Amino acid sequence: MNISDKALVVFQGKKIRRTWFNDEWWFSVVDIIGALTQTDRARKYWSDLKTKLQDEGFEVSEKIGQLKLVSADGKAYLTDCANTRNMFSATILEVETDSNHQQKIFGFS
């Protein structure tokens, strides 16, 4: 089996896209967030978190790269990805929502 045959893994019933880059696996950040937070709005989570991190001075580009991954429509798009080391260093952050409920989102340490 070649590398492209292993481009999709399943975690807790959710499909996680990945690609082989620079001799290591890189995973879709949005897919990981969706799997771990059980949300249907993983793209929104990631968008909000990126904005928050950048506002706090965090250089997202140091941990995240944009690589082409195949989407549900069969086309390849640039997608925010992280390697295994950076995914394992990710932490869940608690944030206040507008309705004063706690919500879990991803952050990178």
End-to-end alpha-carbon separation of the chain, Å?
35
Q: What is the pLDDT of residue 58?
A: 78
Range of the domain at 51: 3-108
Count of CB atoms within 10 A of residue 25's CB? 17
Q: What is the pLDDT of residue 55?
A: 86
Q: Name the helix (H) or strand (E) containing 87.
A: helix 84-88
| Structural domain count of the chain | 1
What is the pLDDT confidence band of residue 2, given thresholds at 50, 70 and 90?
low
Which residue type sits at 32? Answer: I
% of the chain residues with pLDDT over 70: 71
- Measure the CA–CA gap between 55 and 83, rounded to whole angstroms: 23
pTM, to two decimals: 0.74
pLDDT in tens, 73-88: 999 999 999 998 887 7
DSSP string, 8-64: EEEETTEEEEEEEETTEEEEEHHHHHHHHHT-S-HHHHHHHHHHHHHHTT--GGGT-
